[in-house]
Structure 1
């Protein structure tokens, strides 16, 4: 079988991999639950390629993510539930239904009006899903309904806050959220003073939730912000390791004070590089 740009070739390859007797033993062993973690991982790898600005990598990662869709669709087809074509039909129907200002008679809407229209159509869809399942709209009427428990914690916190905000349960000023963050940090400290590890865990969760809230109020993606900080930490720690290697040392053989000083050097070097890129002269400042 040869590679192809035709989506049907990918579907045929997946079918071959899942064919008993001649297919791949690993692929045949999988089910929806076992594949789900890979689906989440591939989505994150797409986001990582975007964050790194690596479009060649993005092409490959999008292919990996598409494979996950085809894999799930194949398993559903084997159970007689739906096919890949049904998946395509469902999303095309949804996009057309949710964009009457593009595909229908509604025209000349502002971005805010489009968002309001989108929310109204989603609410109608939710009510229809409830009716199809033999329930009523009240089954999913809670303001926080519809946020999957399986969402990554940061993402779920953000979605819960967004839903609560729609019914008026929200701070009206980012600085009020910042004040809440300070309050939560004080409560973490109180738990530490009491040597209460369980209480500290709960307070740390409250602190993270408040930080997500501040990011939301500033129209920032908390997950993207944390990914950026992770990358910054990796970059600066790599600089520490490189500097220690030049000295014939390793991190385990260096003191914390030595590594802290090298961290400050890496941080200052990044700041100077950023200033050179923007044409702004670096400001001399004392070490902190």
Structure 2
């Protein structure tokens, strides 16, 4: 029977890190590999968005490799190994799902979420700190804004309904337009002016993140989809221009608009038109 593939992968990492292994792998640190883990996680996200199961499988393997690689540093120092990390995770999951592994009865997803965070609070054993402290500072800004607003909302600091959030969007949008209208946003304007406009723009984005939260969609996923849709349509512009022997920057603006409207009518290959 073949060796357990995870143990085999762990053994490959051990060989890479050994005295006669790869010079590059031996020089790495948890911090340097963490950067690659983030990159691989984004590639996994892209694969999931594509729906290609072969790509998803491959990218999951790449993420697993980086996780095992990081664990190997601490195993080498005699601190813990990947099995210890897995045990801790298993214990945490069982502890935080008493409705599955205990005698608690819960059927609503929102109640599960409340229970999860109540258990997390108990795990802190009374240690002081902000409810926002658990949100990593190095998360992508859009994802972090979502988590921060979510944590704050759990304390009761939130709008009553979607209408309240939408009113806030309008308010923030008006403030941004007013700030831009003072002097415009040309590069020649002062750094202080650009910073103030950036603050107002950030307020708009943060409030829109809360719209997504109320709508029960994730802003990161929504933006990924919107960006992919733009890419698909822009590729149509480029391909149409190329078919006429021109670069896209040589196509007149009015013609670009016409081609864009054509592209909007072309449904994506993997789903309905949006």
TM-score by length of 2: 0.89
Count the aligned residue pairs.
262
Deviation at 1:109, TM superposition (A): 4.4
2:252 aligned residue: 255
Deviation at 1:55, TM superposition (A): 0.8
**Structure 2 regions of 5+ residues with no counterpart?**
184-192
1:137 aligned residue: 127
TM-score by length of 1: 0.85
2:212 aligned residue: 215
Which of 195, 198, 220 is the aligned partner of 1:198? 195
Whole-Å separation in 1 of the counterparts to 2:80 and 2:160? 45
Q: Which moved more, 1:166-175 or 1:52-61?
A: 166-175
C-alpha change, 1:111 and 1:252, in structure 2 (3 Å) is closer
Which of 258, 263, 273 is the aligned partner of 1:266? 263
Whole-Å separation in 1 of the counterparts to 2:14 and 2:92? 27
Deviation at 1:121, TM superposition (A): 1.3
5 Å-filtered alignment, 1:32-71, equals 32-71=30-69
Establish whether residue 151 from structure 1 lines up as the match of residue 149 from structure 2. Answer: no
Deviation at 1:197, TM superposition (A): 1.3
Task: Say whether the 8 Å CA contact 1:191–1:197 is kept in structure 2.
Answer: no
Map Cα deviations across residues 1-41 of structure 1 (whole Å, 9 max, x no partner): xx854311111101111113x11122112111111221112
Please identify runs of 4+ aligned residues in structure 1 that moved more than 4 A.
none
User: Which fold has the larger relative contact order, with Cα–Cα distance below 8 Å and residues 6 or more apart in sequence?
Assistant: 2
Whole-Å separation in 2 of the counterparts to 1:148 and 1:251? 41
Whole-Å separation in 2 of the counterparts to 1:250 and 1:214? 39
Deviation at 1:76, TM superposition (A): 1.3
Which of 141, 163, 168 is the aligned partner of 1:175? 163
1:163 aligned residue: 151
